[in-house]
Structure 1
Amino acid sequence: MLAHRRTILLGAAALPLPALAQAWPHRPIRLIVPYAPGGGTDVFARALAEGLRPLLGQPVLVENRAGASGIVGSEMVARAEADGQVFLVDTGSHALNPYVMPSLPYNTQRDFTAVSLLSRFPILLAASGQAPFSDVAGLVAAARAAPGTIGFGTSDAAISYAGNLFTRLAGIRMEEVTYRGAAPMLNDLIAGHLPTSWNSTVAALPHLQSGRIRALGVTTTARTPLLPDVPTLAEAGVAGYDFAGWYGMLAPANLPPPIAARMAEATAQALREPAIRQRLLGIGVDLQPLGPDEFRTFLHQEDTRWAQAARDGLITRAQ
């Protein structure tokens, strides 16, 4: 666990917790996105920041701190003052990283405060417009004809799991190509340098609408209303495939509960704001946020899930 940190600024230390929450925030708030600009997490965080500004009465700034599958930005938040000025907006990779990375400079269970589960969403298997296949069956046939020669792009641990689960269940061998974020991965997909990739619908939708990439399938058991003509991977012939991504907000450990609760309430209110809600629904997210207690339970469930997957050999630890 990280070294003990102060949890409340000295000037506010004498305030009772309810009064502290009412006084918060007293400075600009920073949302740390641990991935490159332009990806799904970044798009979501910037829309959320726009909705939070008038509710909190302070600037809400989005900072991209990309690197090491989200670890660089996450460590920054884990080591920050727990005063309600710095929050992490991350994906399901936050819960998965302990089981795929050789070591982490923080403990995902002890060094963060759960604030809000922001959204769940399907992951999309997409292909370059220049790829010689246009559906899952064509991709599987091509991969079986030339094992290990077709690449699939990933940008974080959860996306990597989605891609590797596909190859395992389809019984094929493909080459994983890792990126620091969804935006550079999509650039290579559009340019034809990468034949396939796994993305959030948030990141991929603009490029699907322009026809620059193709949607092959979604990872959830039900089709997304955003792309009703795109089959689920199970429908496309990959039996048993079921996986969803998520966005969540966390803070440093020991954030005072009233501040976590107020931030969660403001987040839920921002996501109900019609213009922001319509924008996010229009890019494929499921806006059913959970508060601190429910999100904490969800994170424990995720940790249990990945621990079992590791024991079952379904995920591989990086070297």
Structure 2
Amino acid sequence: MDNNNNSIEDQPAGKKKPTTVLLIPCLLITTSMLLLYLSQKKIILISSTTTTISDSDHSRLRYDPCVGRYIYIHNLPSRFNKDILQDCESISRPKDKTSMCRYIENSGFGPQMGDGDSTDSKYSRSWYATNQFMLEVIFHEKMKTYECLTSNSSLASAIYVPYYAGLDLRRYMQWSCNVSERDAAGKEMFKWLKKQPQWKGLSGKNHFLVTGRISKDFRRYSEDNSSWGTNLMLLPESQNLSFLTIERSPKRQNEFAIPYPTYFHPNSVVEIRQWQDKMKLTNRTVLFSFAGAQRPSKNYKGLVRTQVIEQCNSSSK
């Protein structure tokens, strides 16, 4: 766990790396969900021993706040994460108004919004122009500072696989790319994982992977080059993994839904409460909001987003 524990960018001298308290409860909830799932599948094994344990060891285990929460991070080859970011222009699409390279700044939060030091600025220093597809980077960077991270995989209750599957897919979203190109990295990643001792014990059943795209993008059933996405989640090895993904499939028990990242990345509980208080005092006459664009489709009239957009456009407010 050496190379992947380095920051994705060199931080300028005196510039504090951004943190967020919102991801801390998210990580705790995620860990609890994973442990519950693994225990239901009888993956967590409790063994007995006749070895005498000293009183000091008993005390250490009893009061260790990380017991049951330890997480180990696989040190994947850089081609599965860091190299993707270094070649950031490859994950920018021709129609993107802004290069994806900008969104890699600040550990995946993206460029800071406004002048956080100005008293008249409407943005605090915790607001960033965060790209919706940067969750894999944000999660990975946060996990590097997780309080119960361990370099001893035998202590880990869960093992994190930091493969940027969603960003990797963006490199091959042109229709000119065939399915073999799109699927190659996922297959290579599993080939590497299966050689690791951490995988061999439970065949990956205590492993989890975070994707910054919807589950459907990784479930391509056809081998037709015109079909969308990759087959990552359909590979035999994927059936043992737990996936933290946007818009999980309701038919899959090993998928857990997590939200897209927002622009607000507060540094303290106080800042969260200040924002909540501000919202409570705001005079909001419309208690509904929708963020999304029209989707080109032959049956676009039947799409929920189409109906929402039409109703919003026809509203007098």
Structure ranking higher in strand proportion? 1
TM-score between both structures, scaled by the size of structure 2: 0.27
**Greater length-normalized contact order (CA 8 Å, ≥ 6 residues apart):** 1
Larger Rg over CA atoms: 2
